[in-house]
Structure 1
Amino acid sequence: MDVLLNQLIEQFQLPLQNPVLIFSLILLIILLAPILLQRIKIPGIIGLIVSGIIIGPAGLNILEKSLFVDVFSTIGLLYIMFIAGLELDLNRFKATKYKSLLFGFLTFSIPLGLGFPICHYLLGFDFNASLLTASMFATHTLVTYPIVSKLGVSKNIAVAITVGGTILTDTAVLILLAVILGSHSGGLTQEFWIRLGISITLFSAFMFFVIPKIARWFFEKLESEKHSHYIFVLSVVFFAAFLAETAGLESIIGAFVAGLALNKLIPNSSALMNRIEFMGNSLFIPFFLISVGMIVDISVILSGPMALVIAGTLTVVAIAGKWLAAFLAQIFLKYTKNQRNLIFGLSSAHAAATLAVILVGYKAGILDDNILNGTVILILVTCIVASFVTERAAKSIIRSSDDDEDLELDSAINQEHILIPIANLVNIDKVLDFAVLIKEKKSINPLAILTVVPNTKEAGITIVKAKQRLENFLKETTASDTHATVMATIDHNAASGISRTAREIVADIILLGWPQKTGFLDKLIGDKMESILQNTDRTLFICDFQIPLVNHKRLFLIVPPNAEFEEGFAIWMNKIAQLSVELSIPINLNCTEETHDAILKFAKTNKIALSMNYHHFNDWEEFFILSRQIAETDFLILVAARKGYISHFGYLDRLPTKLEKHFSSTSKMVIYPQ
Structure 2
Amino acid sequence: METMISQLKHEFELPLSNPVLVFSLILFIILLSPILLKRLNIPGIIVLILSGVLIGPYGLNILEKNSAVDLFSTIGLLYIMFIAGLELDMNEFKANRNKSVLFGFFTFIIPLAIGLPVCYYLLGYNLNSSLLTASMFATHTLVTYPMVSKLGISKNQAVAVTVGGTILTDTAVLIILAVIMGSEEGGLTTDFWIRLAISLGIFLIIMFLVIPKIAQWFFHKLENEKHSHYIFVLFIVFLAAFLAEIAGVEPIIGAFMAGLALNRLIPHSSALMNRIEFIGNSLFIPFFLISVGMLVDIGVITDGPMALIIAGTLSVVALVGKWCAALLTQVTFRYSAAQRQLIFGLSSAHAAATLAVILVGYRAGVLDKNILNGTVILILITCIIASFATQKAGRKIAMSAEEPSSNSSVPGSRGTIFSDEHILLPIANTRNMEKALEFATLIKDKKSAYPLTILTVVPNDREAEKNMGKAREELERFSREATASEIRTDVIATIDYNASNGIARTARETLANIILLGWPGKKGFIEKLIGEKMEHLMTYTDKTIFIGDFRTPLVKHQRILVTAPPFSELEQGFGTWVSKICRLSEELNIPVRYYCTADTREAIQKYTEAHKINSGHQFELLESWDDFFILSGELKPNDLFILISARKGSVSHLPLMDNLPAKLEKYFARNSKIIVYP
Q: Say yes or no: TM over 0.5.
A: yes
- State the AA in 2 paired with 1:429: E
1:59 alignment partner, SS class: coil
Deviation of 1:623 (Å)? 3.2
What aligned pairs does 1:462-481 form with structure 2 within 5 A after superposition?
Answer: 462-481=467-486
**Aligned position for 2:253:** 253
- Does structure 1 residue 544 correspond to structure 2 residue 549? yes
The total of aligned residue pairs comes to 673
TM-score by length of 2: 0.98
Deviation of 1:406 (Å)? 4.3
- Does structure 1 residue 359 correspond to structure 2 residue 364? no
1:415 alignment partner, SS class: coil
Equivalent of 2:614, from 609, 618, 622? 609
CA RMSD for the aligned pairs? 1.2
**1:504-555 C-alpha deviation (Å, 9 max, x unpaired):** 2221100000012222157742222121111111100000111111111111
**Aligned position for 1:338:** 338
**Aligned position for 1:203:** 203
Deviation of 1:39 (Å)? 1.5
- State the AA in 1 paired with 2:283: L
Distance 2:229 2:314 in 1: 44
Is residue 523–residue 657 contact of structure 1 (8 Å, CA) maintained in 2? no
**1:140-178 C-alpha deviation (Å, 9 max, x unpaired):** 000000101111111111111110111110011011111
Distance 2:405 2:562 in 1: 26
Distance 2:628 2:613 in 1: 29
1:668 alignment partner, SS class: strand
- State the AA in 2 paired with 1:302: T
Distance 1:361 1:507 in 2: 62
Distance 1:199 1:172 in 2: 16
**1:245-266 C-alpha deviation (Å, 9 max, x unpaired):** 0000000000000000000010
**Aligned position for 1:61:** 61
Equivalent of 1:428, from 430, 433, 444? 433
Of the structure 1 ranges 346-355 and 605-614, higher mean CA displacement relative to structure 2 is found in: 605-614
2:162 alignment partner, SS class: helix
- Does structure 1 residue 107 correspond to structure 2 residue 107? yes
Distance 2:435 2:527 in 1: 26
- Does structure 1 residue 597 correspond to structure 2 residue 599? no
**Aligned position for 2:176:** 176
- Does structure 1 residue 559 correspond to structure 2 residue 568? no
2:572 alignment partner, SS class: coil
Gaps of 5+ in 2: 410-414
Distance 1:574 1:31 in 2: 38
**1:30-51 C-alpha deviation (Å, 9 max, x unpaired):** 0011111112111110111111
Deviation of 1:408 (Å)? 2.3
- Does structure 1 residue 144 correspond to structure 2 residue 144? yes
Distance 1:295 1:316 in 2: 20
Is residue 522–residue 657 contact of structure 1 (8 Å, CA) maintained in 2? no
**Aligned position for 2:646:** 641
Distance 1:549 1:412 in 2: 23
Is residue 416–residue 575 contact of structure 2 (8 Å, CA) maintained in 1? no
**1:604-663 C-alpha deviation (Å, 9 max, x unpaired):** 111111212222223333432211111111111100000111111011221211222233
Is residue 116–residue 134 contact of structure 1 (8 Å, CA) maintained in 2? yes
**Aligned position for 1:297:** 297
Give structure 1 regions of 4+ aligned residues with deviation exceeding 6 angstroms.
none
Distance 1:75 1:315 in 2: 27
Deviation of 1:182 (Å)? 1.0
What aligned pairs does 1:297-336 form with structure 2 within 5 A after superposition?
Answer: 297-336=297-336
Deviation of 1:412 (Å)? 7.1
**1:6-37 C-alpha deviation (Å, 9 max, x unpaired):** 11111111111111111101000000111111
Of the structure 1 ranges 439-448 and 472-481, higher mean CA displacement relative to structure 2 is found in: 472-481
**Aligned position for 2:17:** 17
Distance 2:482 2:421 in 1: 17
- Does structure 1 residue 517 correspond to structure 2 residue 522? yes
**1:264-311 C-alpha deviation (Å, 9 max, x unpaired):** 010111110000000000000000000001111000121011111100
Identity of aligned residues (%): 64
**Aligned position for 1:118:** 118
- State the AA in 2 paired with 1:221: K
**Aligned position for 1:485:** 490
**Aligned position for 2:531:** 526
- State the AA in 2 paired with 1:184: E
Is residue 91–residue 609 contact of structure 1 (8 Å, CA) maintained in 2? yes
Deviation of 1:569 (Å)? 0.4
**Aligned position for 1:499:** 504
What aligned pairs does 1:10-89 form with structure 2 within 5 A after superposition?
Answer: 10-89=10-89
1:613 alignment partner, SS class: strand
**Aligned position for 1:570:** 575
**Aligned position for 1:377:** 377
**Aligned position for 1:581:** 586
Distance 2:417 2:246 in 1: 53
Deviation of 1:407 (Å)? 3.5
Deviation of 1:404 (Å)? 2.9
**Aligned position for 2:287:** 287
